[in-house]
Amino acid sequence: MIDIQTILFFSILILSIIAFVRDWFSIEVTSLLVLAALLLTGLIDTEQAIAGFSNKAVITIGAMFILSHAFTKTGFISVFTIWLENNGQGRGWAITLLFLVSVSIFSAFINNTATVAILIPVARDLAHRLRMSASKIMIPLSFASIVGGTCTMIGTSTNLIINELAKDAGFHIGVFELSKLGLILVGATLGYILFAQKWLLPSRVPVSGLTKKYHLGTYLTEVVLTEQSPLVGKKFLEMNIGATYDLTVLEIIRNGHPITTNIRNIILKVDDIMLVQCAVDKLQRFKADQKVLLLTDVKMNDKELADTENILIEVMVSPNSRLAGLTLMQSDFRRRYGLFVLAVRRYKEIMRKKVAHVRLKQFDTLLIFGSRTRAAALATDPNFIMLDEIDQNLHKIKYWWLAVSIIPIVVLLAAFGIMSILKASLLGAILVMAIGIVPAQEAFKSINWTVIFLIAAFIPMGDAMVNIHLAEKIEMLITLANIQFGPQGLITLLFFLTMLMTAFLSNTATAIIMTPLAIQSANIIGLSPLPFIMTIMFSASLSFMTPNGYQTNAMVLSPGGYRYTDFMKVGIPLHILLGIIGVVLIPKIWPF
């Protein structure tokens, strides 16, 4: 029977899903609002509300973020991956396969967001050397990292949180227990990728020349009219600027006052500032033909512009960047980094503000101009993901050998039962901070607090499901599904339902919602919960059909020049393939 508590629970759940999908608030704020709603409606008590912040999985995940950062600081991932590429014996498919194998290996032990962040410039360089479009390698990079994370317990934060929920149900899952199915999924995914690379993936990014790699999309930038410009005294309508350069003028700023209406018929004057959207190659032609100045030309001094060490690079605002939500002016970017942001690009959104006033979001792409040395420093800054390769050397940081070996040590200690994952990872994180590999302030920045808040705030959602006896209320449906389809059918239903939810909702939030339901479903029909737990553990991590379903998908969206539908075209068949493999093999590997 449906009561008021059940109605309240589903209302909060549905609103939270809409809030995540529509991006009403940041993920952290949405998560905390869900927590507040559960508390205010009495669906959870105070102790349950704060229990998530002391959950063992949350602490383990935080420690693993620090260890991953220590590992990635050495540059070992890119150096090892390039070494593997060079052993591909010149065959494109072999080089690509070795690259993706290395991605999967590192993602099994290192945070896959960090792995992809490091390997995006390597993938770009690989595409250039193989004379292929970057669009052919970026989605494979993301997909290989996602499926690689399913091979070990520490591969993703989703695995760790489900493991903690499984422990509460009386099940201990070993570090390499997932490898029994994970390795099969990796093999199937890599085989599919080699097929998709040829037949399904688009070639949206130009292949020829490194100079073309900045022409991937439309940027927002500002130009200033000079006295020599043939545009002075003319109207845009007369000069046919839009069609010639595929350029959109969003605003004209004259004497500090914006002009936003009837722009095509405005007579242009010297020193007018035009806010425009245009691809970089066409913008450079517009600059040369119409004798306008880019923002850099105006605001950088002669010495900076003449410096041969100055380069143009692309960086992405990282998922845990502290600059997200701030404008370039508020973050004091120019003084803080000694670099100049020439333009900003954002997927599927037209920005109508001056570059300095654009409020940055996660995964925004910045076109940056400045010295090579300062640009290279951004590679180790957790606020950014470098999209251009500047340095491929192993960084000999203090005790670099320990930074490289610490995660394998943690894994071995946990695998052989010498220490729990929590204890080993926590001691490892303390060690790298104590000896100076990762200073305390840097360790704080390396933690993806969005993930931490999401997990900590959503764990009480599972408690709320137990409190309202949700499983008992839908017991008839679960029993009927079992009678109609059998345990295998129920596994199939849970697998594909979780996959679908993960495509639009956070994979971690999906796991927290679905795991208690899966465990209680197994108990109702009198079967072992383990295959049901494994079903959620794999299906919650396998998110390929949308760019917002998994952070690594969002990260490769801009570098690959993709459209939203590209992920559906390539991702849905992979979902079906891995789903079939999963539902067939899970009951065989972990019997009912």
Domain locations in the chain as residue ranges = 216-386
- For residue 221, give the nearest of 314, 128, 351 by alpha carbon: 351
In angstroms, rounded to a whole number, what is the distance separating the alpha carbons of residues 503 and 474?
24
Angle between helices 449-467 and 4-22 (to 10 degrees): 160
The owner of tokens 């540059």 is: 75
Among 58, 147, 65, CA closest to 114: 65
**3-state SS assignment for residue 274:** strand
Residue 381: helix, strand or coil by DSSP? coil
Q: Which range scores top for mean pLDDT: 82-86, 89-93, 192-196, 351-355?
A: 192-196
Residue written as token pair 């760790």? 160
Q: What's the rounded Cα separation, in Å, for the pair 95 and 89? A: 8
pLDDT at 309 (0 to 100):
62
Residue 49 clears pLDDT 60, i.e. is over it: yes
Q: Please work out, in degrees rounded to the nearest 5, the angle formed at the alpha carbon of residue 295 by the alpha carbons of 294 and 297.
A: 65
User: Which pTM was predicted?
Assistant: 0.80
In percent, the amount of the chain with pLDDT more than 90 equals: 28
Return d(Cα 75, Cα 356) in angstroms, integer: 32
Q: Indicate whether 425 pLDDT > 60.
A: yes
Do residues 451 and 508 lie in contact, with contact meaning Cβ atoms separated by under 8 Å?
yes
**pLDDT confidence of residue 296:** 57
The CB density around residue 235, as the number of other CB atoms within 10 Å, is: 14
What is the mean pLDDT of the segment spanning 256-261? 80
Phi then psi for residue 368, to 5 deg, are: -115, 140
- List the alpha helices (DSSP H) in 89-178: 92-109, 112-129, 138-148, 157-168
d(CA 105, CA 91): 21
Q: Decide: residue 390, CB within 10 A, 0-12 exposed, 13-18 middle, 19+ buried.
A: middle
pLDDT in tens, 123-138: 887 887 788 888 999 9
How does strand 292-294 pair with strand 340-345?
unpaired
Q: Name the percent of the chain lying above pLDDT 70.
A: 90
Residue 351 has pLDDT above 80, yes or no: no
Local structure of residue 266 (DSSP, 8 states)? P
Question: What confidence score (pLDDT) does residue 213 get?
Answer: 42
* One-letter amino acid for residue 1 of the chain: M
Q: How far is CA 131 from the centre of its chain?
A: 26
Residue 206 has a pLDDT of 64
CATH architecture of 216-386: 2-Layer Sandwich (3.30)
The answer to whether residues 201 and 544 touch, using CB atoms and an 8 Å cutoff, is: no
* pLDDT classification of 389: cutoffs 50, 70, 90: low
Closest alpha carbon to 440 in 450, 452, 455, 429:
429
Residue closest to 140 by CA, chosen among 74, 194, 210, 77 = 194
**Average pLDDT along the chain:** 84
CA 437 to chain centre: 25
Mean pLDDT value across residues 173-184: 94
Residues 279-320 have pLDDT tens digits of 776 777 888 888 888 765 555 444 444 445 667 788 889 887
Integer Cα distance of 538 and 492 in angstroms: 12
Q: What is the mean pLDDT of residues 252-270?
A: 84
Q: Where residue 27 falls among pLDDT bands split at 50, 70, 90? A: confident
Lowest mean pLDDT among 159-163, 305-309, 574-578, 586-590: 305-309
pLDDT at 532: 95
Alpha helices in 416-529 (DSSP H): 421-434, 440-446, 449-467, 470-473, 475-504, 507-524
The answer to which of 142-146, 276-280, 488-492 has the lowest mean pLDDT is: 276-280
The answer for residues whose C-beta is within 8 angstroms of residue 295's C-beta and 6 or more apart is: 221, 222, 223, 224, 340, 342, 355
**Token reading at 513:** 């919602």
**C-alpha 380, offset from chain centre:** 17
pLDDT band at 100 (very low <50, low <70, confident <90, very high): very high
C-alpha 502/C-alpha 546 separation (Å) is: 9
Of 581, 552, 589, 588, whose CA–CA distance to 191 is shortest? 581
How many Å apart are CA 573 and CA 578, to the nearest integer? Answer: 9
- pLDDT for the residue 216: 43
Q: What are phi and psi of 268, to 5 degrees?
A: -80, 150
Dihedral sign computed on CA atoms, order 250, 562, 573, 16? negative
| Residue 426: predicted pLDDT | 93
| pLDDT at residue 588, as a whole number | 95
The answer to whether residues 442 and 431 touch, using CB atoms and an 8 Å cutoff, is: no
* Residue where the block lists tokens 């692309």: 314
Return the amino acid letter for 472: E
Nearby residues of 491 by Cβ (< 8 Å), 6 or more positions away: 531, 532, 535, 583, 586, 587
HEC readout, 3-58: CHHHHHHHHHHHHHHHHHHHCCCCHHHHHHHHHHHHHHCCCCCHHHHHHHHHCHHH
Per-residue pLDDT band for 210 (boundaries 50, 70, 90) equals very low
Answer whether residue 577 shows pLDDT above 90.
Answer: yes
Token representation of residue 209: 């020349």
Give which of 355, 364, 397 is closest to 383, Cα–Cα.
364
Which of 159, 126, 157, 161 lies closest to 140, judged by CA?
Answer: 126
CA–CA separation, 24 and 504 (whole Å): 14
Strand partners for 249: 276
Give 327's DSSP letter. B
Looking at per-residue pLDDT, the higher value among 286 and 536 belongs to 536
Query: Is the pLDDT at 232 greater than 80, yes or no?
Result: yes
Cα–Cα distance measured from residue 566 to residue 143, given in angstroms and rounded to the nearest whole number:
13
Q: How confident is the model at residue 529 (pLDDT cuts 50, 70, 90)?
A: very high
Looking at 169-173, 200-204, 471-475, which range is the least confident one? 471-475
Model confidence at 375, in pLDDT bands (50, 70, 90)? confident
pLDDT tens for each residue of 5-15: 888 998 998 89
- Stronger pLDDT, 36 or 314, i.e. the higher one: 36
